[in-house]
Chain A
Amino acid sequence: QKEVEQDPGPLSVPEGAIVSLNCTYSNSAFQYFMWYRQYSRKGPELLMYTYSSGNKEDGRFTAQVDKSSKYISLFIRDSQPSDSATYLCAMKGGFNKFYFGSGTKLNVKP
């Protein structure tokens, strides 16, 4: 079983839609959860960062962590064409190691 599972998509939505991106993980020791946005041939850019279970909101983005289900989500409200990118979930395990999902490619159509 992979440490982190993420549906690769692609996910195509119309502009203004609510987008839901999800990851599951297997290691109950993971404590820190992150979402990165990656544009084509660029480095991942940190979008959201949460610790343990709960919700965190930043503008149009909401990150949600459910540790009991080992499930994390990123919601994007009022999606824009500029949100078109690959979204990577990541989580920290051990002293100094981060685990990444395979990324979900999102396309927001004007």
Chain B
Amino acid sequence: EPEVTQTPSHQVTQMGQEVILRCVPISNHLYFYWYRQILGQKVEFLVSFYNNEISEKSEIFDDQFSVERPDGSNFTLKIRSTKLEDSAMYFCASRDTATNEKLFFGSGTQLSVL
């Protein structure tokens, strides 16, 4: 069964460093998302991406965050200068067409900022 894959599964970084989280959405999907979940808290929307541009973003997604689809398969989230409060599980998700509302998630990248 097709699935969303994320790498790495765990990323440890120093405060102020840049990190790039990588995702390979399901191949025929057109809509891509990043969510995050701080331990014990709710899944929070960060950004949605369609047709090579951001379609919506949350207040969390400030200038330190960026997303990119560098080729036909990868979808990345970059945090330019990490803060302690960026420590969370980051989930990538995708869905196929505008009429299919089923959102599929990857297994996540646990980001730890020290």
Contact = CB atoms under 8 A, between A and B. Distances in A.
Tier of interface size on chain B: 20 to 34
A90 B103 contact: yes
A101 B45 CA distance: 11
Interface stretch (A37-45, A55-63, A70-78): A37-45
A43 B108 contact: yes
B91 interface: yes
A90 B105 CA distance: 13
A88 B91 CA distance: 14
B103 A34 contact: yes
A96 B31 contact: yes
Nearest to A99: B45
A41 B110 contact: yes
B61 to A, nearest CB: 12
A-B residue pairs, 6 tightest by C-beta:
A43-B105, A32-B101, A102-B42, A100-B43, A96-B48, A96-B55
8 contacts: A34-B103, A43-B107, A46-B102, A96-B50, A97-B45, A100-B35, A100-B42, A100-B43
Given A43-B105, A51-B101, A100-B42, 12 more contacts: A45-B105, A49-B101, A49-B102, A88-B43, A90-B103, A94-B56, A95-B55, A95-B56, A96-B50, A98-B33, A102-B41, A103-B42
